[in-house]
C-alpha cells in the first residue's frame, strides 16, 4: 500500500466522500492546493461556506480563516485546520482586549466611529465590531465596505491593517489629513483626542511583515532592468509601493491580472511567493511571471501534506475550531453584514 502523504490524503478523501470538503487559500503550497476542492481568496472562501453541506470542512490556511469558516458554518458542521498554530502576524497586532480598550477610549472622547475589521483578525475582534454596529472586509471588498462604514455617518475605525486602510482611503479619495493612525501604546492612553475628532478614518497601526518587504525602490529597480514589465501588488503593501505599481488588488485580482496580461508580457507580482510560483508555472511559455521579491508567509507554510494526511486519517477525533456562543453571534452578525453589503454592491 502506498503510504506517501499524498496517497493517504487521496484514500481518506475517497473514504469520506461528500462528508468532507477541503478549502485552501491561494498562499498554500501546491502540495496542498492539489488536494483542495475549492481554492480562493479570503472573500471567495468565506462566501463558499454557506453552500457547503459537508460534515467536515478542512481549512488549509491560517487560523483566522478557519475561525471565520467556523463562525459561518451550519450547526453540526465541523471546521478543522491541520495546524491550529498557523497564526497571522497582522491579526495578532490587534488583540481583542486592546481593541476593546481603545474603542472604549474613543467612545469616552465622543468619537463614535463605525468599526471595520479586515478579515485578518480574531473572532473576538470581529465580535467587538459586530457589537458596535460595524462589520468586516477583505482585500477584495475593502472599498465597498469602507464606503459602507462611512455611510453610517460617524466616520470609521479601520483595523488592523493600516496599509490596506490607507490604500483604500486613497482609492476612495479620502485625503491623508482626514486619516489618523492611532497610538495604541499604554492601552490607548496616548491617543490624541483632537486628531481623533478631526479625522474621518482612524487607522489601527497593524501591518503584514510579508508585504512590508515590497518597496517602491524594488519596483523602480525592476522597471529599469525589465523595461515594459508590468507590476501588480497586494494592497497590504505600503501605499508608496501601491502607487508605484501598475495595479493592486486581492489575490484573486492578481490572478486575473496575469490572466488578462498580453501574451509575451513580463509581470512582477508583489505578494506571497507560493501564488506567484504557481502562476509562473501556469503561464510558462506564454508570459513571464516573477516574484517582485521572495517573500513567504511562514504561518501559511505550517500547513503541510503530512499534517493534512494525519488529520484526515483521524478526523472523527480531531478537535474542531470552536468559537464560544457569546463571541460567535456578534462575530457572525459582523461577517453576515459584509456578505449582505457585498451581495448588493458587488458583482458576483
Chain centroid, CA 345 distance in Å: 20
* C-alpha separations of 79 from 47, 56, 305, 320 in Å: 15, 6, 18, 5
Which positions from 1 to 40 touch ligand 13P by CB under 6 A, shown as an x/- string? ----------------------------------------
Contact flag: residue 273 with ligand 13P (CB under 6 A) = no
Question: End-to-end CA distance of the chain, in Å?
Answer: 44
Binding status of residue 44 toward ligand SF4 by CB under 6 A: no
Size of the site for ligand 13P (CB under 6 A): 11
Q: Which does 299 bind (CB under 5 to 8 A by kind): ligand 13P, ligand SF4, none?
A: ligand SF4
> Is there binding between residue 167 and ligand SF4 (CB under 6 A)?
no
Give the chain's length. 348
* Interface with ligand 13P, residue 42, by CB under 6 A: yes
Indicate the residue among 120 and 252 with the shorter CB distance to ligand SF4: 120
Question: Taking CB under 6 A as the rule, does residue 120 contact ligand 13P?
Answer: yes
Q: Out of 68, 149, 157, 236, which residue is the one contacting ligand 13P (CB under 6 A)?
A: 236
Question: What are residue 270's phi and psi, to 5 degrees?
Answer: -100, 85
41 binds, among ligand 13P, ligand SF4, none (CB under 5 to 8 A by kind): ligand 13P
Query: How far, in Å, CA of 321 to CA of 57, rounded?
Result: 10
| Residue 208 binds ligand SF4, judged by CB under 6 A | yes
Give the Cα separation of 303 and 241 in Å (integer).
29
Read off φ and ψ for residue 347, nearest 5 degrees: -65, 145
Q: Phi/psi of residue 284, each to 5°?
A: -55, 135
Going from the C-alpha of 282 to that of each of 60, 182, 255, 275, 339, the distances in angstroms are 21, 42, 11, 11, 31
Closest listed residue to residue 102, CA positions, set 194, 200, 189: 189
CB of 83 to ligand 13P, least distance (A): 16
What are the C-alpha distances in Å from 67 to residues 72, 80, 108, 328? 9, 9, 31, 10
3-class DSSP state of 93:
coil
Q: Which is nearer to ligand 13P, 198 or 346 (CB)?
A: 346
Nearer to ligand SF4 among residue 90 and residue 123 (C-beta): 90
Residue 272 near ligand SF4 by CB under 6 A? yes
Q: Which grid coordinates belong to 64?
A: 483566522
Footprint on residues 54-73 left by ligand SF4 (CB under 6 A): 62
Query: Residues binding ligand SF4: what is the number (CB under 6 A)?
Result: 12
Q: What does the binding site for ligand SF4 look like in residue numbers (CB under 6 A)?
A: 62, 88-90, 120, 208, 210, 236, 272, 297, 299-300
Q: What does the binding site for ligand 13P look like in residue numbers (CB under 6 A)?
A: 41-42, 120, 138-140, 208, 234, 236, 250-251
Amino acid at each position: 500500500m502506498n503510504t506517501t502523504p499524498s496517497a493517504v490524503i487521496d484514500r481518506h478523501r475517497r473514504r469520506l466522500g461528500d462528508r468532507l470538503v477541503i478549502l485552501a487559500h491561494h498562499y498554500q503550497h501546491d502540495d496542498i492546493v492539489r488536494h483542495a476542492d475549492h481554492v480562493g481568496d479570503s472573500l471567495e472562501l468565506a462566501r463558499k461556506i454557506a453552500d457547503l453541506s459537508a460534515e467536515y470542512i478542512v481549512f488549509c490556511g491560517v487560523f483566522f480563516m478557519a475561525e471565520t469558516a467556523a463562525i459561518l458554518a451550519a450547526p453540526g458542521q465541523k471546521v478543522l485546520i491541520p495546524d491550529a498554530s498557523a497564526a497571522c502576524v497582522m491579526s495578532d497586532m490587534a488583540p481583542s482586549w486592546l481593541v476593546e480598550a481603545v474603542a472604549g477610549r474613543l467612545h469616552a472622547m465622543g468619537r463614535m466611529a463605525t468599526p471595520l475589521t479586515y478579515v485578518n483578525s480574531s473572532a473576538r475582534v470581529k465580535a467587538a465590531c459586530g457589537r458596535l454596529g460595524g462589520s468586516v472586509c477583505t482585500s477584495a471588498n475593502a472599498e465597498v465596505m469602507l464606503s459602507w462604514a462611512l455611510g453610517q455617518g460617524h466616520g470609521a475605525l479601520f483595523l488592523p491593517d493600516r496599509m490596506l486602510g490607507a490604500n483604500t482611503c486613497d482609492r476612495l479619495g479620502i485625503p491623508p489629513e482626514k486619516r489618523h493612525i492611532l497610538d495604541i501604546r499604554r492601552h490607548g492612553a496616548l491617543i490624541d483626542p483632537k486628531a481623533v475628532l478631526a479625522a474621518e478614518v482612524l487607522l489601527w497601526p497593524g501591518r503584514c511583515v510579508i508585504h512590508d518587504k515590497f518597496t517602491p525602490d524594488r519596483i523602480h529597480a525592476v522597471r529599469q532592468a525589465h523595461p515594459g514589465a508590468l507590476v501588480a501588488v497586494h494592497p497590504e503593501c505600503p501605499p508608496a509601493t501601491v502607487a508605484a505599481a501598475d495595479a493592486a488588488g486581492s489575490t484573486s485580482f492578481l490572478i486575473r491580472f496575469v490572466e488578462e496580461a498580453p501574451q509575451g508580457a513580463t509581470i512582477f507580482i508583489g505578494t506571497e511567493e507560493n501564488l506567484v510560483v504557481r502562476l509562473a508555472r501556469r503561464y510558462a511559455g506564454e508570459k513571464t511571471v516573477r516574484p517582485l521579491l521572495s517573500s513567504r508567509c511562514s504561518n501559511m507554510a505550517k500547513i503541510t501534506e503530512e499534517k493534512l494526511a494525519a488529520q484526515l486519517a483521524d478526523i472523527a477525533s480531531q478537535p474542531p475550531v470552536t468559537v464560544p456562543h457569546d463571541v460567535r453571534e456578534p462575530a457572525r452578525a459582523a461577517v453576515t453584514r459584509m456578505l449582505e453589503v457585498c451581495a448588493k454592491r458587488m458583482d458576483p
